[in-house]
Amino acid sequence: MKLAGVELRWVELQMRRPVGTAAGTHRDRPLALVRVVTESAQGWGECGALADGTLVDPPIGAVWTKLAGDAVARLFRATRARGGHLPEASRIATLFAGVPVDRMAAAALEMAVLDAELRSDGISLARRLNWAGALDAGAAGGAGKGAGLRVRAGAMVGIPPDREPRSLVDSVDEQVSRGFSRVRVKIEPGWDVRPLATVRREHPDLELQADANGAYRLGSQGIDDAGRLAALDDLALVCVEQPLPPGDLAAHAILAGRIATPICLDESLGTNRRLADAIRYGACSVACLKPSRLGGVFATRLAQESCRASGVDAFVGGFFESGLGRSANAALATLPGFTLPGDLSAPADYLSADPFAYPVVEGGRVEVHDAPGIAPEPDPAMLLACSDAARTVWVPYTP
């Protein structure tokens, strides 16, 4: 595909309600969007970085600076080397280094180029990912032919502002009433065993996960002592996610030998090499794989293949994406290595507005986009209303 230019667009969105976690509270959701324009199609990409970043991920401002700086220049250089033709989406990540800000910039550019490729070829992302054979109809996805491709979707509930277990149960009740069979609950030291036990009493059959965002410490002897998490073993949780700081795989392996609840890693898994180390050390039996953090769709496909080969359960994690990013994640969830429901609830559940359409989640399942591209084109009026005009940049390609 011959490149005409690249547009970068900063979009200001807000959360419907604050989402509390052990790492902080999410209130705003700015997005950095990339639009790649070619002679045959245009494609959209989304940066997953959050407003303030995370323990291991850069804030969106840093990724925006990278995109507006040398990221587009790298894409242009690679295009010139190909006589004006864009490099294939699967090669975009090779243009960047392995540091977190580069991986997130690469993921956004890769998504835009991939979307353009898919539209030009007249195929959906789910079909492209499963090119070699029929879509898997396994436990997590349940994708198949007939009434459309559908995958199971999980919901997430934050720490309630009033820190009352009853408020948490009310939030979980709402998600269960909408058909979600898996709910991920945020915890932190002092807000863990009691609220989770309250939820479990109300929902004995719910696939319940706890997410600690690295808030505990091994052997601290304080309220944040990870040894206290052994009290979760009686609650039959699917897993406790990222209990310890992300840099210490050895400590996670030790903790895995001390508690019966399966350990899931999230922030620890920034690269496929890191995932391989975690599996080799026995640091996790569940993996939360986030495409933006790993460097894009193709890096995530490799990661789920590693999990599948090693017998490690996996699910697609989310960064409060718009309908564009969520649609990419839903397509990834059709792959057989994703054995657990992903973070695929509708953006309308947490965003006050969304320029990109996303299907309604019905019965705890979401229909995967199966038309050409990753997601439908954005709504022009809504996109314009949410865009920061001062940070909408068109960069024409010059040979």
Distances in Å between the Cα of 167 and the Cα atoms of 19, 198, 199 are: 13, 11, 10
Least Cα distance to 190 among 161, 229, 156 occurs for 229
Catalytic residue among 2, 66, 145, 290: 290
Catalytic residue among 2, 66, 145, 186: 186
| Known active-site residue 2 | no
| Known active-site residue 186 | yes
- CA 49 – CA 390 distance, rounded (Å): 20
Instruction: Enumerate the active-site residues.
Output: 186, 290
